[in-house]
């Protein structure tokens, strides 16, 4: 640990203050069409062979000696702008770039931005913009952020229709899913068929799988950073669509031109509206729908201060004699402040909540019998982040974060024949803190290093009861030994971890580079879920005296190369990952309404390794990518599989995605994607026995995940028709025709075993397919 | 009580394109084990313990019977009840011989000798509350049900103690779960989880579970119910049986073996023998639909 700090300080002092007589150029890079900041835009001075990227708020700062320079501003899909700057003092320059009209033009004028694949120190990172997400053929024609992420290298899922995604052998709770910096605790609508992000409101999606910088923490396996659009600062515009599942509408525009803008976007499913006439009387009171609402306002107070307010609210509602609903709510407030041309600050405060409710309303004449159950996780956070542009060779970032959590495992009551009782479980509280510092340093013209440290700290707080359990044979419920009550804000357990992070990039030549990274991550929140696919009622719980923080170390190495003047970018990465304190469950664990849940939990180790191959074509009529992942992911837990290593339920040896979009004419464009992945493991019985006429499956070897279900593959296609419209007309529409699972493959989600209904002595293996046929869809999208 | 089928309806909408089909599969077969199916009651009728062997999963016939064993139960004052083989895997005790096994609160012991190995198991005979009444209500046909009479039983759990129950329902003497034997009605105190339900009337879904919703009672039918007391270990066992025998779909849990309450002779958990030993007291009631 000490050596890392020494190394850090040493390197810092070497490179930091070497350039003295220089001035800075700083400012924002924005879109000329909408006024939105361009995240990651390139600012390059060719004569000095130097440059920087704009940060996530579009801010850049560049230091140069006195002189006259041609500064090139560029961004993928935008026309580049060259400014000649006579640098005799620090200057502030805001630049607006115009969108290129078509992809072909983009190739000619703008090859610059795509060098990032090789030039940036970042590795194991994939970015998708909203445009790409909308091109990918989707289930029922609904463009979807998470489903698009599943097509990236290193990402897999346990099966169709399940919540979340698995990155490099990590569980679905090991992804920090951020919507404008607020964590989203459950990213699914309808169990997992759709995600909570409205594609019309999304600006940019970035998935970080490795080489995770110190500014991020709290989850082991990935960061999915979803940024919402800021809202058009120039004019009012709207987009929307009518699909089979959702109807969508979003409106954005200036409140005060070039100073203040807003965005409001909403979606609602309407299967219930369509189904209503077909339901008979006793179902007409039933409801099944989901919706979400996204809103954002941003205001430029002056050239040094900007504020952003954004919020999300979404819910799934089902009911018919019962109520079952769940959803997230987030609110984020951010303040960008430029202290001077070298020091930039963002201060974020957020609130994020996920909750669900289940209840039974009595039928008529059955009053006095009911049940209600609510559960939630509520978090509040403050997070200052500073970027210090020391000089062209060093960018220091530092900051911290505090999150206060309130967990409500169950607020519940029931009544039976007029007699009622409260069966709530007590709330749990926790405080998570983090501090970090990092430096991104260029050494010579070829080598860049990003190094730093994150320190994380977690306290499990009162008021509450601390349970201590006796040890047993692993795999058997641990009995309670002792309990101790604590007052409000008393510390019941605490942990801290140092998380070193390091990334290196070395340019081999103009078109290729090698990169390597190491990161340690710690995670203090745990999703308690023992089902194949996570359910909406799964609980998030804090680290306690019984549940240790999860830890992961990852090493990744990669080779990056661009071809054909950056028209193609390619990479090969290999990674090794080691996990500690992974939660598992005893056989027949009791997860709900169990104050002594920790007695049913097991803890073990994990390991994952793999190779990822990725080729992406960025420009021309045909765009898309091919991604292939060869991977393994295993766990070892005392009490499961006789204590031996076993594959995780989402382990897939091979994972191939081919995504292609072809622009035939201005009127017609087509896209397709094909996915293939090896079957996931499953536990199958070896024997049967009979108890009271019931055939019970039994596994003599006590093995876990001892078989593989058949491989998964699927082809989806779509065609987009853009009718020619008068150029003066604001209204533009397009029709999207799509077919999901074109060749009707019955991809098995699982195989299970059951007794035949007609003859219970016969047992059968049953293949369960979530989607068993092709799914055609048509949708209409518009903008004005 | 339309909750269960309405939840089913939601899933129909959610998984409009889902499908299930029976497939052929080759499984590894493990070593065969002795299986004890010993559910006894305090009744004066013939008491039966079935011994069998586990077999390959797709045997698709009744598993082989075991006859060469010695089966005894011990009661108060070391009273011995001998279970005699009928040559078809059943070991039978006639309560005419030494009286029924009906000492409430006493822990009975099963002793089993098979192939020179000796196993024991314990079960306390817990009390069972009376069934106060069965109510009958007529319901119109709906999306998933025929019209007919739906019954509910009313009973109140004993206050001040943790109780475990198995509720068996019959239509004209035939179990309503005959086609789906793994669908069992179980209760902890008066509810599924037992939390806060000590001393309560059995809660609604349990109370009404004695009618087969797809095939309700008609005039002339007899609805009857048996309420059996269980030990905690047996409750857990049966609860697991219902889970492991119907463990499919998106939200299935990792398949797990069910832990037996049968011990080796020194009183340790063993791995050679499967099954369970249970002794129950029973309350009964029935009603003729008019």
pLDDT digits (tens, 9 = 90+) for A547-584: 999 999 999 999 999 998 888 999 999 999 999 999 99
- Provide the pLDDT for residue A113: 60
CA distance A321 to A412: 18
pLDDT of residue A148: 93
Instruction: Measure the CA–CA gap between B65 and B2, rounded to whole angstroms.
Output: 42
Q: Tell me what the mean pLDDT of segment B227-250 comes to.
A: 90
Nearest one of A345, A341, A394 to A27, comparing CA atoms: A341
- What end-to-end distance do the CA atoms of chain B give, in Å? 21
Q: What are phi and psi of A616, to 5 degrees?
A: -130, 135
Out of B25, B59, B196, name the one closest to residue A423 (CB). B196
B117 shares contact with chain A (CB less than 8 Å):
no
Q: Which of A151-155, A497-501, B244-248 is predicted least confidently? A: B244-248
Mean pLDDT of chain A: 89
CB of B83 within 8 A of CB of B94?
A: no
- Contact between A686 and B29 using a beta-carbon 8 Å cutoff: yes
What does the pLDDT read at residue A363?
67
Cβ proximity of A41 and A113 under 8 Å = yes
- Per-residue burial over A434-464, b = 16 or more CB atoms within 10 Å of its CB, e = otherwise: bbbbbbbbbeeeeebbbbbbbbbbbbbbbeb
Pairing, β A750-755 against β A763-769: antiparallel
| CA–CA min distance A536, chain B (Å) | 10
Residues of A within 8 A of B259 (CB-CB) are 587-588
Q: What is the mean pLDDT of residues A60-83?
A: 88
pLDDT for A348 beyond 50: yes
Query: pLDDT at position A258, please?
Result: 81
Burial letters A759-769, b for 16+ CB under 10 A, else e: ebeebbbbbbb
Between A227 and A758, whose confidence is greater? A227
- Which band of pLDDT confidence, cut at 50, 70 and 90, is reported for residue A276? low
CB atoms within 10 A of CB A753: 23
In B, which residues are within 8 Å of A688 by CB distance? 54-57, 59, 63
Q: Please check the confidence at residue A760 and state whether its pLDDT lies above 90.
A: no
CA distances from A144 to A131, A168, A354, A769 (A): 11, 21, 20, 21
| SS3 state at B22 | strand
Which residue in the set B20, B204, B247 is minimally distant from A767, CB to CB?
Answer: B20
Which residues in B lie closer than 8 A to residue A191 (C-beta atoms)?
Answer: 14, 250
Chain B contact probe: residue of A278, A287, A416, A596 with most B CBs at under 10 A: A416
Q: Which residues from chain A sit within 8 angstroms of residue B191, using beta carbons?
A: 414, 416
Of A148, A115, A142, the C-alpha closest to A129 is A148
Nearest one of B128, B121, B114 to B228, comparing CA atoms: B128
Q: What pLDDT sits at residue A6?
A: 52
In A462-511, DSSP assigns E strands to: 464-469, 480-486, 491-509
pLDDT by residue (tens digit) across B57-98?
Answer: 999 889 999 999 999 999 999 999 999 999 999 999 999 999
Q: Which residue has the higher pLDDT, A554 or A618?
A: A554
* pLDDT the model gives residue A285: 62
Q: What is the pLDDT of residue A253?
A: 93
3-state class percentages of chain A: helix first, strand second, coil last, to nearest 5: 10, 60, 35
For B14, nearest residue in chain A (alpha carbons): A190
Of A433-437, A700-704, B159-163, the poorest mean pLDDT is in A700-704
Q: DSSP string spanning A326-342?
A: EEEEEEEEEEEEEEETT
Question: Other CB atoms closer than 10 Å to residue B160's CB: what's the count?
Answer: 7
Q: Using an 8 Å Cβ cutoff, are A482 and A465 in contact?
A: no
Residue A659, pLDDT score:
96
Q: Are A765 and A751 in contact (CB under 8 A)?
A: yes
Q: What is the DSSP letter of A592?
A: S
Q: How many percent of chain A have pLDDT more than 70? A: 93
8 Å CB contact of B2 and A282:
yes
CA–CA distance from B271 to each of A187, B31, B275 (Å)? Answer: 43, 12, 11
What pLDDT, on a 0 to 100 scale, did the predictor assign at position A430? Answer: 97
The predicted model gives B217-225 an average pLDDT of 96
- Is pLDDT above 70 for A16? no
What's the CA angle centered on A659, arms A657 and A660, to 5 degrees?
155
Q: Is the pLDDT score of B11 beyond 70?
A: no
Residue located via tokens 């069934």: B131
Q: How crowded is the C-beta side of A481, counted as CA atoms within 13 Å?
A: 8
The per-residue DSSP string of A397-459 comes to EEEEEEEEEEEEEEEEEEEETTEEEE-PPPPEEEEEEEEEEEEEEEETTTEEEEEEEEEEEEE
Do residues A198 and A250 touch, judged by C-beta distance below 8 A? yes
Average pLDDT (B211-235) is: 94
The whole-angstrom distance between residue A734's C-alpha and the CA centroid of its chain comes to: 29
C-alpha A179, offset from chain centre: 8
User: Which pLDDT score, from 0 to 100, does residue A594 have?
Assistant: 87
* DSSP letter, residue B269: B
Kindly tell me if the per-residue pLDDT of A280 is higher than 60: no
Tell me the average pLDDT across B177-181.
Answer: 85
pLDDT grade, residue A600 (50/70/90)? very high
Q: How far is A428 from chain B (nearest CA, A)?
A: 19
**Residue A230 pLDDT > 80, yes or no?**
yes
- Chain B residue with minimal CA distance to A193? B14
Residues in chain A: 784
> Which residue's structure tokens are 């044979």?
A473
Give the end-to-end CA distance of chain A in Å, rounded to a whole number: 57
- Alpha carbon of B282: minimum distance to chain A alpha carbons (Å): 17
| Across A265-274, A598-607, A657-666, B208-217, least confident range | A265-274
Please report which confidence band the pLDDT of residue A284 belongs to, taking 50, 70 and 90 as the band edges. Answer: low
Cα dihedral A726/A731/A732/A733 (nearest 10):
-120
C-alpha angle B133/B139/B141, rounded to 5°? 150
Give the closest-approach CA distance of A423 to chain B in angstroms.
6
φ, ψ of residue A253 in degrees (nearest 5): 170, 175
CB pairs under 8 A between A and B: 260
A704 neighbourhood in chain B, CB within 8 Å: 254
Cβ–Cβ < 8 Å for A558, A574: yes
Give me the pLDDT at residue A179, please.
Answer: 94
Q: Kindly list the distances between the CA atom of residue A167 and the CA atoms of A77, A633, A648, B236, in Å, as whole numbers in the listed order.
A: 29, 10, 12, 36
Above 80 in pLDDT, residue A15?
A: no
The string of pLDDT tens digits covering residues A510-531 is 899 999 999 999 999 999 988 8
Q: Which residues pair with A460 in a beta bridge?
A: A430, A493
pLDDT at A637: 95
How buried is A48 (Cβ within 10 angstroms: 0-12 exposed, 13-18 middle, 19+ buried)?
middle
Determine the Cα–Cα distance for residues A554 and A552; give it in Å rounded to an integer: 7
Whether A198 and A294 have beta carbons less than 8 Å apart is answered as yes
A593 pLDDT tier (thresholds 50, 70, 90): confident
pLDDT digits (tens, 9 = 90+) for A156-181: 999 887 889 999 999 999 999 999 99
**Are β-strands A175-179 and A222-228 bridged in parallel, bridged antiparallel, or unpaired?**
parallel
Q: What is the pLDDT of residue A288?
A: 81
pLDDT tens sequence across A627-653: 999 999 999 999 899 999 999 999 999
Q: Is the pLDDT of residue A721 over 90?
A: yes
User: Per the structure block, which two tokens stand in for B164?
Assistant: 């475990």
Report residue A182 as tokens: 């607020």
pLDDT of residue B19: 83
User: Regarding beta strands A22-31 and A95-97, do their DSSP bridges make them parallel or antiparallel, or are they unpaired?
Assistant: parallel
Instruction: Using DSSP bridges, classify how beta strands A305-319 and A394-416 pair: parallel, antiparallel or unpaired.
Output: unpaired
């Amino acid at each position: 640990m000490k050596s890392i700090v020494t190394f850090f300080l040493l390197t810092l002092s070497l490179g930091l203050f070497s350039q003295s007589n220089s001035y800075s150029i700083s400012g924002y890079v924005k879109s000329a069409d909408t006024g939105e900041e361009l995240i990651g835009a390139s600012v390059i001075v060719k004569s000095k062979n130097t440059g920087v990227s704009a940060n996530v708020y579009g801010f850049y700062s560049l230091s140069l000696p006195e002189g006259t320079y041609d500064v090139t501003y560029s961004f993928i899909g935008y026309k580049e702008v060259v400014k000649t700057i006579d640098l005799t003092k620090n200057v502030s320059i805001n630049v607006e770039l115009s969108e290129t009209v078509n992809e072909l033009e983009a190739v000619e004028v703008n090859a610059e931005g795509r060098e990032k694949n090789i030039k940036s120190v970042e590795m194991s990172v994939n970015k998708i913009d909203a445009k790409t997400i909308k091109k990918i053929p989707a289930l029922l024609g609904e463009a979807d952020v998470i489903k698009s992420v599943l097509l990236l290298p290193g990402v897999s899922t346990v099966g169709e229709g399940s919540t979340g995604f698995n990155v490099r052998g990590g569980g679905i709770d090991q992804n920090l899913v951020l919507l404008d910096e607020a964590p989203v605790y459950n990213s699914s609508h309808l169990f997992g068929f759709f995600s909570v992000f409205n594609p019309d409101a999304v600006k940019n999606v970035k998935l970080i799988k490795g080489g995770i910088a110190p500014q991020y923490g709290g989850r082991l396996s990935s960061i999915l950073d979803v940024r919402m659009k800021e809202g058009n600062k120039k004019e009012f515009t709207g987009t929307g669509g009518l699909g089979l599942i959702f109807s969508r509408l979003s409106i954005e525009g200036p409140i005060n031109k070039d100073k203040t803008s807003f965005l409001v976007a909403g979606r609602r499913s309407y299967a219930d509206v369509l189904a209503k006439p077909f339901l008979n009387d006793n179902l007409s009171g039933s409801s099944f729908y989901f919706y979400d609402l996204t809103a954002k306002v941003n205001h430029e107070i002056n050239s040094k201060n900007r504020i952003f307010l954004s919020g999300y609210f979404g819910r799934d509602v089902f009911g018919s004699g019962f109520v079952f609903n769940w959803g997230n709510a987030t609110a984020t407030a951010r303040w960008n402040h430029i202290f001077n041309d070298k020091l930039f600050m963002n201060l974020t405060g957020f609130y994020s909540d996920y909750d669900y409710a289940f209840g039974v309303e009595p039928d008529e004449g059955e009053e006095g019998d009911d049940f209600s159950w609510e559960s939630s996780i509520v978090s509040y956070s403050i997070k200052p982040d500073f970027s210090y542009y020391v000089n062209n060779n060093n960018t220091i970032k530092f900051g911290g974060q505090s999150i206060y959590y309130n967990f409500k495992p169950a607020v519940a009551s029931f009544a039976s024949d007029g007699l009622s009782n409260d069966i709530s479980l007590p709330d749990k509280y926790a405080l998570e803190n983090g501090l970090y510092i990092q430096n991104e340093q260029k050494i010579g013209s070829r080598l860049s290093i990003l190094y730093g440290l994150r320190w994380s700290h977690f306290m499990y707080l009162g008021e509450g009861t601390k349970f201590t359990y006796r040890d047993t044979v692993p795999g058997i419920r641990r009995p309670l030994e002792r309990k101790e009550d604590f007052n409000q804000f008393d510390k019941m357990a605490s942990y801290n971890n140092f998380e070193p992070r390091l990334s290196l990039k070395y340019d081999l030549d103009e078109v290729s580079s090698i990169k390597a990274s190491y990161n340690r991550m710690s995670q203090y929140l745990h999703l308690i879920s023992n089902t194949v696919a996570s359910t909406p009622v799964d609980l998030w719980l804090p680290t306690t005296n019984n549940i240790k923080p999860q830890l992961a170390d990852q090493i990744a190495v990669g080779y990056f190369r661009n071809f054909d003047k950056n028209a193609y970018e390619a990479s090969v990465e290999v990674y090794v990952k080691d996990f500690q304190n992974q939660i598992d469950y005893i056989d027949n664990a009791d997860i709900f309404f169990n104050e002594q849940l920790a007695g049913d939990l097991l803890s073990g180790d994990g390991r994952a390794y793999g190779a990822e191959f990725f080729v992406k074509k960025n420009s021309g009529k045909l765009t898309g990518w091919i991604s292939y992942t060869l991977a393994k992911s295993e766990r070892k837990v005392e009490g499961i599989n006789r204590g031996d290593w076993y594959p995780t339920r989402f382990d897939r040896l091979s994972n191939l995605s081919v995504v292609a979009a072809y622009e035939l004419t201005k009127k017609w464009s087509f896209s397709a994607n094909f996915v293939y992945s090896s079957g996931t493991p499953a536990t199958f019985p070896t024997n049967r026995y009979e108890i009271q006429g019931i055939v019970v499956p039994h596994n003599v070897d006590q093995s876990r995940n001892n078989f593989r279900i058949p491989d998964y593959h699927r082809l989806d296609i779509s065609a987009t028709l853009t009718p020619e419209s008068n150029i003066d007309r604001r209204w533009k529409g397009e029709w999207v025709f799509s077919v999901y699972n074109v060749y009707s493959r019955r991809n098995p989600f699982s195989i299970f075993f059951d007794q035949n209904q007609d003859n219970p002595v016969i047992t059968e293996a049953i293949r369960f397919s979530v989607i068993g046929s092709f799914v055609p869809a048509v949708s209409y999208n518009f903008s004005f | 009580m339309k909750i269960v089928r309405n939840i089913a309806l939601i899933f129909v909408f959610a998984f409009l394109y889902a499908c299930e089909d029976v497939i052929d599969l080759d499984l590894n077969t493990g070593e065969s084990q002795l299986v004890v199916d010993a559910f006894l009651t305090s009744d004066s009728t013939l008491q039966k313990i079935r011994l069998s062997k586990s077999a390959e999963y797709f045997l698709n016939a009744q598993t082989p019977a075991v006859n060469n064993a010695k089966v005894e139960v011990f009661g108060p004052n070391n009273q011995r009840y001998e279970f005699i083989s009928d040559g078809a895997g059943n070991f039978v005790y006639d309560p005419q011989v030494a009286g029924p096994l009906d000492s409430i609160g006493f822990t009975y012991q099963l002793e089993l000798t098979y192939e020179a190995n000796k196993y024991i198991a314990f079960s306390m005979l817990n009390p069972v509350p009376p069934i106060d009444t069965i109510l009958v209500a007529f319901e119109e046909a709906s999306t998933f049900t025929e019209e007919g009479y739906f019954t509910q039983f009313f009973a109140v759990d004993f206050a001040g103690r943790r109780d475990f129950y198995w509720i068996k329902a019959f239509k004209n003497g035939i179990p309503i779960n005959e086609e789906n034997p793994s669908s069992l009605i179980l209760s902890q105190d008066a509810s599924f989880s037992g939390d806060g339900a000590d001393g309560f009337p059995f809660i609604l879904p349990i109370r009404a579970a004695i009618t087969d919703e797809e095939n309700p009672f008609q005039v002339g039918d007899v609805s009857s119910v048996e309420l059996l007391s269980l030990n905690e270990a047996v409750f857990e066992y049966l609860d697991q049986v219902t889970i492991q025998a119907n463990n499919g779909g998106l939200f299935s849990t990792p398949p797990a073996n069910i832990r037996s309450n049968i011990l080796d002779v020194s009183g340790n958990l063993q791995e050679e023998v499967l099954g369970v030993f249970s002794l129950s007291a029973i309350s009964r009631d029935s009603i003729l639909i008019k």
